[in-house]
Amino acid sequence: MIRSRRRLAGFTLMELVVAMALLGVLAMVAMPLAELSWQRQREAQLRSALREIRTALDAYKQAAEAGLIARAPGDSGYPPSLAVLERGVRNLKDPKAGQLVFLRRVPRDPFATDASVPADQTWAIRAYGTAPNEPREGRDVFDVASRSMRTGLNGVALREW
C-alpha cells in the first residue's frame, strides 16, 4: 500500500521530459506568430501616422492658399517643418490673431528605434519639387516616409509607403 501511494504522488522523469518537449514545440510555433502580430500592429500604426501627418500637410497647404497663413513669394505653401504643424501659425484673417494648429502632436514613426530622438525627427522628409524615388529635405515639408529599411507584410518597403 505504501508503494502505490508514492507512485501516485508525482511525475516520472520521462513524463516531465515529454511535457517539456511539448512546451518547447508550442513555444517554437508561437514565436513566429507573435512576431507577425507585432509587425501587423506596427504597420497599422505607421499607416495611421502617415495619414494623420499627410492630412495635416494638406490642411496647411489649403490654409496657405486661402490666405490664412503668411507666405513669401515663391514659397510652396507647405510648412517649413513638422514642428510647425504642432506649434501652429498665426491666422492672418482672425481679428484676435489666433493660432492655426494642424496636429496636437507629431506622431512618432513606430519603426524608429531610438526613443531619445524627438518624434518630428523620426521621419524621412521630402521637400516640394523633389522626385518621389529620391526624396530630399529642403525648405519645406511636402511628404514624409518611414526611415525603416524593413519590408512590409505586403512586400513593399516601409519607406515607400
User: What band does 7 get if pLDDT is binned at 50, 70 and 90?
Assistant: low
pLDDT value of position 45: 95
How much is the mean pLDDT over the chain? 87
- DSSP classification of residue 104: S
127-149 pLDDT per residue, tens: 998 887 778 888 999 999 999 98
- Going by C-alpha positions, the residue among 154, 130, 40, 155 that lies closest to residue 144 is 130
Confirm if 70 and 92 have CB atoms less than 8 A apart.
yes
pLDDT value of position 37: 86
Buried b (16+ CB within 10 A) or exposed e, 92-109: eeeeeeeebebbeebbbb
pLDDT of 30 strictly over 80: no
76-95 pLDDT per residue, tens: 889 999 999 999 999 888 88
pLDDT of 4 strictly over 80: no
